[in-house]
Amino acid sequence: MAEEAAKKGVDLVATGDCTHPEWLKNIKKAAADDETVTIGKTNFIITTEIEDSSRVHHLLLLPSISKAEELAERLSNFCDLKIDGRPTVRLNGCEIAEVAKDIEALIGPCHAFTPWTALYAYHDSLKSCYGDMTDYISFLELGLSADSNYADRIKELHRLTFLSNSDAHSPWSNKLAREFNQISVPEVTFEGLKKAILRKDGYRVTYNAGFYPQEGKYNESACIKCYTHYTLEQCLSSNWKCINCGGLIKKGVKDRVNELADFAEAKHPEHRPPYVHLMPLSEIIMTALGHASINTKGVHTAWNDLISRYGNELNVLQKADISDMNKLDRRVVNAILAFREKKLIIHPGGGGQYGSIEIPPETQNIEYEHQKKQSSLFDF
């Protein structure tokens, strides 16, 4: 994770799973002191997800290893911490937020709009989940199927800082940092991050970056077995049963946000940073080459060439002058240029299947000159 993060241009990664006894041992091995965990150039912040008694996932950011131990101690009365990296505890959202406050951790809902195991899957408001502790919630994790445009249609979220975390469970190039946050901090420590999330002393998240919501697995309502997509009207008339295979239709994030929305269009509060939409470079290359997987030799070679020449993925996607890349397949160069010009087509995901990218034929001969045009990356 540390090595691959550096290739992506990422300075700070979350450990995850900090209450799992074996994983905590590993965290301790990499720790310089109680608060500093660093491997190579990559810094780690101590975190865990916790599943509450109604299956909602909460993200906790912790100040130190000793606080992780304290958290483990507190939670061990309500679950078996050895079973899972993300413990399922017999506490509700409000009680978990109380524990978080006691150990001086920051807390917010994970992948908040996902139709399973998330805040808005089971609740219609923050208050319904967190009760008297609602004011202590300082951030919301958007998840892959939502962005600031979705979330800022809901008034109660305006005061929260949005985090666009990758939720990566592996270091592979299309997972790690598929979403990320650019954060202005006084120092890369918990205290620095805390100031930025609470927007204290001028520190803040300066932009969120991540998928177009259509790329996510649960963007549109769709069958979880055969992935047929449905409009909300069709879902209601078929009672959430797929007319093709009889499988369950899962409500998509797009439809769920429409239900919850206070505004027809997003109203961004003044503090909200821009949202930069990205696609994983390896998937752009895969599509350009017509390969079926990102794990082919051709995709690896092109990806490694680009990264070794231009430093990191973000640089390749956003601004590197790739016209001098003679050895690189012309189809790959064109696809990257088409991405920059927002000309790639996304077929929305749903029912647990990611969205897919299509390269329209008319973009396959984009002139190299085009890349010199400065396209606006910050399209909120």
Asked if 242 is part of the footprint of Zn ion (rule: CB under 5 A), the reply reads yes
Task: Report in angstroms how near the CB of residue 57 gets to Zn ion at its nearest.
Answer: 4
Choose between 150 and 203: whose C-beta lies nearer to Zn ion. Answer: 150
Q: State the DSSP code for 369.
A: G
Binding segment toward Zn ion, per CB under 5 A, in 97-105, 200-208, 244-252, 279-287: 244-252
| Contacts to Zn ion from residues 108-137, by CB under 5 A | 110
| Contacts to Zn ion from residues 211-240, by CB under 5 A | 223, 225-226, 228
Binding segment toward Zn ion, per CB under 5 A, in 102-110, 189-197, 263-271, 306-314: 102-110
Helices of type H across the chain: 2-8, 21-29, 65-75, 93-102, 119-122, 126-130, 148-151, 190-197, 232-237, 253-260, 281-289, 297-310, 313-318, 330-340
> One symbol per residue from 328 to 357: x for binding Zn ion (CB under 5 A), - otherwise; what is it?
------------------------------
Choose between 248 and 345: whose C-beta lies nearer to Zn ion. Answer: 248
Asked if 103 is part of the footprint of Zn ion (rule: CB under 5 A), the reply reads no
Residue 256 zone, left/alpha/beta (φ > 0; ψ -120 to 50; rest): alpha
Q: Which of 83, 236, 245, 248 binds Zn ion (CB under 5 A)?
A: 245
Task: Report in angstroms how near the CB of residue 228 gets to Zn ion at its nearest.
Answer: 5
Rounded to whole angstroms, the Cα distance separating 61 from 52 reads 16
Phi and psi angles of residue 159, each rounded to the nearest 5 degrees, phi first: -80, -15
Choose between 225 and 300: whose C-beta lies nearer to Zn ion. Answer: 225
Asked if 244 is part of the footprint of Zn ion (rule: CB under 5 A), the reply reads yes
| Angle CA 272–59–149, to nearest 5 | 30
- 35 Cα distance to chain centroid: 24
> One symbol per residue from 49 to 68: x for binding Zn ion (CB under 5 A), - otherwise; what is it?
x-------x-----------
Task: Report in angstroms how near the CB of residue 59 gets to Zn ion at its nearest.
Answer: 8
Contact 83, 61 (CB under 8 A): no
- The count of chain residues that interact with Zn ion, using the rule CB under 5 A, is 11
Choose between 51 and 313: whose C-beta lies nearer to Zn ion. Answer: 51
Task: Report in angstroms how near the CB of residue 246 gets to Zn ion at its nearest.
Answer: 7
- 76 Cα distance to chain centroid: 28
Q: State the DSSP code for 222.
A: E
| Contacts to Zn ion from residues 30-49, by CB under 5 A | 49
One-letter identity of residue 275: Y
Relative orientation angle of helices 65-75 and 21-29, to the nearest 10 degrees: 170
Task: Report in angstroms how near the CB of residue 235 gets to Zn ion at its nearest.
Answer: 12
Phi and psi angles of residue 287, each rounded to the nearest 5 degrees, phi first: -65, -45
| Angle CA 340–342–348, to nearest 5 | 125
Q: Where along the sequence are the contacts to Zn ion (CB under 5 A)?
A: 49, 57, 110, 223, 225-226, 228, 242, 244-245, 247
